[in-house]
Structure 1
Amino acid sequence: MASVTLAAKNAPKAKRQAAAPRWMWTLPPVAGLALVFLYPLVLVAQQSFTPLEGGTSTQPYADVLADPAFREALGTTVWLAVGATVGCLVLGFALALVIAFVPFPGGKAVAKFIDVFLAFPSFLITLALLFIYGSVGMANGLWTDATGAATGPFQFLGTPWGVLLAEITYFTPFVMRPLLAAFSQIDTAQIEAASSLGAKAPRIIRQVILPEALPALAAGGSLVLIMCLNEFGIVLFTGAKGVTTLPMLVYSKAILESDYTAACVVAVVNVLISVGLYGLYRVVSRRAGA
């Protein structure tokens, strides 16, 4: 009888010993992630230190960083990303204000459409702009039909300003979404009280709405900045001549010039910039409660 009791007491202990530690269950997904995602990144980083003549060296980095084409691409990438981010913040804030605080028919449908818009591929928006403002688009067609001119006046899509317009058009909803969520948390009683005290709309926006929207603006702006730095489809589909960003430079080096080492160097630099900005985005998102 005593032996049976002792065996019953030891059974849970034996089960615990036989059971695998919980951390072991994380090994399969981590191994899969490393194989699918991290291993190709390691290969890219390794190739960036491999000169054409073989061996391992930091010379490819020195060559690429000293290349005027790289510096121009870096400058173009930064100013396009910053310009698009500022445009998205201004336009997104204005549109979100209208949707959240100005009653109009279909306002809820527009707010829901923004969620759907986030799933659209970037090249689709670019194609839509090309149909409207392209060299043979609707706007130029109407102009030539009305005036008999050989070409229309809308030729900006093939310039950096066309890329900027396409990026602002596509990425603005990424700012509006967190703003609408923030606006939904604002107590309308504060707005009504400020209005009853004689405050005009600009003052209400500046003193009541904007302070509540700042975290969402920061989070949305950080996300848009990261996405603009890595945007490839919009630049490619606009066909803007002379507009070379870092992703376009990677494509040019790898596909057109077959210089895979230089392409990997540019890719590593782009990844480092993106990871740094992503860390900033996470900090801002945590503070914003996103």
Structure 2
Amino acid sequence: MTAVVEPEAGRPAENDGRAMTVAKTAVVAGPLIVPAVGLGYPLAWVVARSFTDRDDAFAGGATWGSTLADPAVHKAVWRTLEVAALSTLGCLVIGTFLAFVLAFVPFPGSAGVVRMIEAVVALPSFLIPLALGVLFGSVGVVSASTGHQFTFLATVTGVVLAEIAFYTPFVVRPLLAAFSQFPSAHIDVASLLGAGPTRIAATVILPRVWPALAAASSLTFLLTLNEFGIVLFTGAKDVTTVPMMIYTKSMVASDFATAAVLATMQLTLSVIVYLGYRAVVRRFDTRTGA
């Protein structure tokens, strides 16, 4: 008599569990393949290219050494930091003032102003220098009417003003969100105690919204640090930032090795600033949740 072997009762459940694990892995790994191939590979290629020479031959750290020793690179790095810092400072001053007025000094049409500020973010960045060029360019309206006395668009001042005009909404929007959560009772109490508007803003409001202000400034600095289109379209030939130098080295001089070194430096600096931005945002979220 032949014995009949019954299947183990737990095996179907075990197979279903493995199938579910495979399915979950596929769902998670699938979307990761696209950025890994589309972003990770080019970045890895850029880093690897930085260790070659102009003829694409392995050069070790020679290209890094020559690039880091180049005074023009030093000037470009400092110019990049200067433009980003001045632009961020200008955005903070103007953006904080605008957000404060829109949040605490309501006036007819304030909602329309907010919508207009938000719309600027949707515009391509190069439209700002083109618009400013109509006014302050070498053949602009102001320049022509003043005997070419105000042709500052193709200077550091012009680049900074263009970046302030474009990136100020990145400060206004988060501050408006922070101001909307501010208890109005605190302002009423401070006013009853005799505090003026300036003191209320400095001692009551700003200390409560500084995390939002820090997050906005970090994001703005990160964006202005990597800005290329505005610098290019202002025609500021003497304002050589690292992104502009990367473009010149790669597209004009065909020196892809040096461009890769500069790109790797810019990437490293951007990651550092981004990590600082994320740290501020996490602290802000923690304090808000508490």
Q: TM-score, normalised by structure 1?
A: 0.91
* Corresponding residue for residue 158 of structure 1: 154
Deviations 1:223-276 (A, max 9, x none): 011111100001000001211000000011111111110011101100000011
1:15-54 matches, cutoff 5 A = 15-21=16-22, 22-52=24-54, 54=57
2:258 is the alignment partner of 1:262? yes
Q: Give how far 1:10 is off.
A: 5.2
Is contact 2:91-2:167 (8 Å) kept? Answer: yes
How far apart, CA to CA, are the structure 2 residues paired with 1:40 and 1:13? 41
Q: Give how far 1:34 is off.
A: 1.0
2:179 is the alignment partner of 1:178? no
Moved more, 220-229 or 192-201: 192-201
Q: Give how far 1:6 is off.
A: 7.6
2:118 is the alignment partner of 1:118? no
2:219 is the alignment partner of 1:236? no
Taking only the aligned residue pairs, the percentage that are identical comes to 45
Q: Give how far 1:90 is off.
A: 0.9
Deviations 1:31-90 (A, max 9, x none): 211111110111111111012352241110000000011001001001111111111111
Deviations 1:105-131 (A, max 9, x none): 111122233222212111011111111
* Letter paired with 1:18: A
How far apart, CA to CA, are the structure 1 residues paired with 2:19 and 2:264? 45
3-state SS of 1:157 partner: coil
Distance 1:6 1:117, change over 3 A: same
* Corresponding residue for residue 217 of structure 1: 213
Q: TM-score, normalised by structure 2?
A: 0.91
* Corresponding residue for residue 13 of structure 2: 12
Distance 1:125 1:52, change over 3 A: closer
How far apart, CA to CA, are the structure 1 residues paired with 2:195 and 2:58? 70
* Corresponding residue for residue 199 of structure 2: 203
3-state SS of 1:74 partner: helix
How far apart, CA to CA, are the structure 2 residues paired with 1:275 and 1:72? 21
Distance 1:156 1:12, change over 3 A: same
* Corresponding residue for residue 168 of structure 1: 164
* Corresponding residue for residue 133 of structure 1: 136
How far apart, CA to CA, are the structure 2 residues paired with 1:217 and 1:14? 53
* Letter paired with 1:110: V
Deviations 1:173-220 (A, max 9, x none): 101111000000011111112112211011000111111221111000
Moved more, 170-179 or 53-62: 53-62
Deviations 1:131-173 (A, max 9, x none): 12212222234x25xxxxxx33211101111001111111111
* Letter paired with 1:185: Q
* Letter paired with 1:197: L
1:262-281 matches, cutoff 5 A = 262-281=258-277
* Letter paired with 2:265: V
Instruction: Show structure 1 runs of 5+ residues with no match.
Output: 145-150
How far apart, CA to CA, are the structure 2 residues paired with 1:44 and 1:6? 56
How far apart, CA to CA, are the structure 2 residues paired with 1:17 and 1:48? 44
3-state SS of 2:60 partner: coil
Dislocated runs of 4+, deviation >6 Å: 5-9
2:254 is the alignment partner of 1:253? no
1:73-112 matches, cutoff 5 A = 73-112=76-115
